[in-house]
Structure 1
Amino acid sequence: MKKRILSLALATVMLVTMFTACSSASGSTPAVSTPASSGSASESTSSGGMDTSPITISVMNRVPAEYIIENNHVLDEIERITGVHLEITAPPIANYNDRLQLAMASGDIPDIIYTWEFDANYEKFANDGMIQPLDMEKMKQYPNLMANLNEDQWNRARVGGMEGDIYAIPRANAQSRWAVIVNDTWLEKLGVTMPTTPDELYEVAKLIATEDPDGNGKNDTFLYSPTGLWSDCWLVFAFLPFSLQHVPAYLPDPVDGEYKIKEKMTGYFPYLDFVRKLYAEGLMDPEWFTNNYYDDRTKFEQERVGFCHNGSGSEVGYVKTFPDALERFSTYPALLMEGAEKPRNEIAASTWGGWMINADVDEAKLDRILAFIDWANSPEGFTLFNVGVEGEDYTSYDIENRSVVRTDEQTDHVTNYISGYMSFASALDGLPATLGSTPELAEITKQIYDEYDAAVDTIQIPVVKIPEIDNWAAENPDIASKKEELEVSYVCGKISREEYEDFLTNTYFPSIEEAEKIYIETMNAYAAANS
């Protein structure tokens, strides 16, 4: 039914802003939770009353290569309204973390620094006195931030446990709806429907690799090309809860209900063994382990693979690249875990990194920075950063329905001057800036989300900070990197299961044992207190 409805909107499609699923990060689809504040960001203040005298604020942020910083009319309009000239340092996305480390080590730190994750490096910056702790009583002076970020979102930025200080302003993001985008035309050509279990996926993978779904006469197509072993939630969820490398899921083992580190989860080896089989039989991209961030999407767009990790509804975002995208692609929830009635969708407090502030910034400049980021979380600031300047970047924008209308000329240039990466808030009142380029398409996108929500078992990941386990990898880099290396080697058939288990038993588990014990004790106490 969805395909029939979507096809009716094709004639009206001009552009839909791409939705990103992240990973860790990162994902971005509308949130269902409401802010902890009694108000909403859409009811809070804009630029009226703020200090708009000229000031330069330096920012280090990751933005796409096509984003223009110099002579950017959107940044110029932001400066006209707020008085803030943003002096932007923008390392490439692919090596942003490396450049961030170099900048912080050099001591030449911008006023605002974007952190992709609230990880061990973030905690080190805080503990080393390089970034400012936020006075949360003072933060109550900034109504847009307090309305647009709920308590769990703020808590994600705490350092040293749940009683620790907050050292960054989280970037509000929409709730993740983890999914996989699939080339439906391949499935139709192969005479199959979307698989719902790993066993069914394996059979489809064999067809994709051997039956020439792209019609070029060669067996050069694959099921998927992940950017890492733990990047594709749609597949991981069929075996065990999702987690980053060396960080537990903060959820119990779905088989026995016990809290465990990932490597001891019931589904850990079944997952690795499944991917190992795909690799051994040439069913997944053989170069997957050399992928950089977003290479999986590039290969999907090039029709080298049929499946790609993304957010629900992301097919709408491909309309500019593929005019028939709504007929060609669909998004589907995760595969079913054995014995489950619905696919899992695990969601954490919706943030996409956050904004650290240089510890050496004086009080007056700190006030301007906080006021500016507060304004960026208002409807006015949110619209400018995410949608652009009316007349230049769009013809009309309905913020209530998250619908933007653009001419062909506006559509052609908009990605040069607007980027979700540059926005200080990726969601307002839990919703992204756009759901579609027309009211009709926005409504269809919302329908996709509603269908997704009804189809999945949504599981909230607790916001619990346990430094001993969260920081273990940073404190044990040699063992952590060796474990990652051997994990990939096992999947690629370079070592046996016995060799890998020997490393886990004699090196990895003894090293992480104390942190693991604290994690399990803390989570059992959390579960008891919240039962």
Structure 2
Amino acid sequence: MAKSKRKFLGTALLGLAIALSGCAGNGGNASAPDHSGGTGSSSLDPVTLEVVVPGAKGANYDEVLAEVNKRLKAEMNTQVKFTFVDFADLNQKTNVMLASGESVDLIFDAPWLHLDTMASQGYYEELSELLDQYGPNVKNTRPEQMWDANKINGSIYGVPLGSAYTQQRSVFIRKDLREQLNLQPVKTYEDLKAYLYAVRDSKSGITPLLAGADDVTYSWVNWLIRDDTSVNIRPTNFAGASLMLYYKGNDGKVYNFFETKEPKIWSNIQDVRKLFVDKVMSQDVLTNKSNPAEMQLQNKVAATPQMVFGIPQSYNDQLKQVVPEGELEAVRLFDLTPGKNLSNFKMDNFICIVKTSKHKDRAMMFLDWANRQENYDLLEHGIEGVNWKQAGEHQYETLNNDGGIVSFQLMLNPTLEREWVGTDEETQKFSQFITEADNFTKDVMTGFTFDPTPVKNEVAQFATIQAKYYSGIFNGALDPDEYFAKFKGEGEAVLGKIQTELQNQVDAFLAKK
């Protein structure tokens, strides 16, 4: 689950009413929005928007969608239809949708998916004019530095979705198990390993650790490297979160793992191999198709990597249905020292308008609608008074059947997010730290986007090679001493060509600064 719910305390900034005339793209006629940000529907033709996002339908999907479409019908004579794609199939299915010209208006994409490639190949609409004409709320709920840092070749091909300057990350463990095993709270990676081995030795039948092999981001080595400020290694995003080409420190150099065998990455690879051999890492890590989080809530797994800092109340509620005394806690290895973490202020997720959409104006109008507080709350939390209720200006309280439809897939921003009222002080400390730009050192690569077009064949070729080895090596399932050599033999020449092109583009970018 590459999903994140990043919480931020902010002030709603609703756009001023802008007189609209004419139409953008090929879709329908637009009328002027009213002062609440809504749009009268009387002059608009009926439109149904096709929206493709990752994940799965939540428990309240039908009821919430009905309310969404009721409001949309009244305000802009529009209906919306969501297609959810499982993360394991996201790359392949969205590729096919775009290449085949399938009828899609809005589609989720990301640097870890294929955003740069699809934008450079012309699959997405450039959004500047649509934002100016139909998207005041979309613009005003995101700071200028977010827009500036998330352009592709100087243009806006997707609305950045995020509310902080780095990704929240933690490892969810079972607090009740830790206490039963007489272990102190987990503060370090060594503490975490002690917990994992203790779970293994407890003969409880619970798998100690399960990473997400279907998504490189969740590979165990990637997870550990992302939070290690002693090296500040991060992916170049030429192939999602792959560390085969990486940046290190802030020197503007592209490093090739085949060449460097970076000591910190390699030592983590050796470490996770031991976890696998010792039956601490799930023996099914490469073949598991179930959501690790769901398996943890079913009392099958004792630790999983998650893209949040705190435990959602709904998770503990679900776990207690299986294990009445069960309780999760978050292990955070993130460094809270100001200045130690680098940020390029890029967001991990985007929503894009497809170039072939016949309703580009209406798609932007819908996004603008979704970036109004009352609609944002509906989409993210569900129906007020039924699924959730307000608790203070920018907090919310969950009810028994809490939950909406989407968040990070469609409209997540730093202005409209609410903090769950039950968020503990430690989680708040971490969450608020990453919303402050001054806590980060600016990445020299801020504003850079790789154009893979000159090496698109090599990128495709390497993706096929990488799929055979990466997740196995970076999750411990393959012996690195044997399989890294095979990986290198097949991929080194191809990766070298990509590295050369990427470095040339980096050098050209830095020369202009």
Tell me the residue number matched to 1:226: 212
Shift of 1:492: 4.7
Alignment-derived partner of residue 143 in structure 1: 136
The answer to whether the aligner puts 1:449 opposite 2:443 as a matched pair is no
Contact 1:132–1:358 (Cα < 8 Å) also in 2: yes
The equivalent of 1:500 in structure 2 is 484
- Tell me how far 1:251 sits from its aligned partner: 4.3
Match of residue 463 from structure 1: 446
- Give the length in aligned residue pairs: 470
Matched to 2:381, the amino acid is V
Distance 1:331 1:121, change over 3 A: closer
**Aligned runs of 1:185-204 on 2, under 5 Å?**
185-204=176-195
Length-normalised TM-score, structure 2: 0.75
State the match for 1:306 in structure 2. Answer: 302
- Who is 2:495 aligned against? 512
In structure 2, the CA distance between the partners of 1:253 and 1:140, relative to structure 1 (3 Å rule), is: same
Displacement of 1:372 in angstroms is 2.5
Output the CA distance in 1 between the equivalents of 2:476 and 2:38.
60
Deviations 1:271-301 (A, max 9, x none): 1111111001111111011234x72112221
* Structure 2 CA distance for aligned equivalents of residues 289 and 82 of structure 1: 47
The Cα offsets for residues 17-50 of structure 1, whole Å up to 9 and x where unpaired, read as: xxxxx74xx6332358x8xxxx952576664563
CA drift at 1:185: 1.5
2:146: which partner in 1? 153
Quote the residue 1:379 is aligned against. 373
TM alignment of 1:68-467, pairs within 5 A: 68-69=61-62, 72-94=65-87, 95-110=89-104, 112-118=105-111, 121-136=114-129, 139=132, 142-155=135-148, 158-159=151-152, 161=153, 163=154, 165-174=155-164, 176-212=167-203, 216=204, 218=205, 220-227=206-213, 228=215, 230-231=217-218, 232=220, 234-236=223-225, 237-238=227-228, 241-243=233-235, 244-246=240-242, 251-253=247-249, 259-261=254-256, 264=260, 265-292=262-289, 295-310=291-306, 311-322=308-319, 328-334=327-333, 349=345, 351=347, 353-361=349-357, 365-394=359-388, 396-398=389-391, 400-404=393-397, 406=399, 411-412=400-401, 414-415=402-403, 418-421=404-407, 424-429=410-415, 432=417, 434-436=418-420, 439=421, 441=422, 444-445=423-424, 448-450=427-429, 462-467=445-450
TM-score (norm 1): 0.73
**How far did residue 125 of structure 1 move?**
3.7
CA distance, structure 2, for counterparts of residue 114 and residue 166 of structure 1: 15
For the residues of structure 2 that align with 1:326 and 1:173, how far apart are their CA atoms? 34
Please say if residues 77 and 389 of structure 1, whose CA atoms lie closer than 8 Å, have aligned partners that are also in contact.
no
- Judged with a 3 Å threshold, the aligned counterparts in structure 2 of structure 1 residues 469 and 106 are, in CA distance, closer, same or farther, namely closer
Distance, in Å, in 2 between the alignment partners of 1:281 and 1:28 is 33
- Letter aligned with residue 186 of structure 1: L
Q: 1:328 to 1:460 in 2, by over 3 A?
A: farther
Question: Which structure 1 residue ranges, 5 or more long, are not aligned?
Answer: 1-21
Identity of aligned residues (%): 14
Contact kept, 8 Å, 2:170 with 2:332, in 1: the verdict is yes
- Write the letter of the residue equivalent to 2:212: P
Check conservation: 1:174, 1:426, Cα contact below 8 A: no
**1:41 alignment counterpart:** 13
1:52-74 C-alpha deviation (Å, 9 max, x unpaired): 23521322323523454589432
**Contact 1:115–1:354 (CA under 8 A) maintained in structure 2:** yes
Displacement after TM superposition at 1:499 (Å): 5.2
Gaps of 5+ in 2: 18-34
Greater shift, 63-72 or 397-406, is seen at: 63-72
Structure 1, 520-529 or 481-490: larger mean CA deviation: 520-529
Describe the shift of the 1:230–1:473 C-alpha distance in structure 2 as closer, same or farther (beyond 3 A): farther
- How far off its partner does 1:387 sit? 3.3
Distance in 2, matches of 1:492 and 1:166, equals 39
CA distance in 2, matches of 1:274, 1:458: 29
Say whether the 8 Å CA contact 2:162–2:347 is kept in structure 1: yes
Structure 1 SS opposite 2:255: coil
Q: Which amino acid aligns with 1:211?
A: S
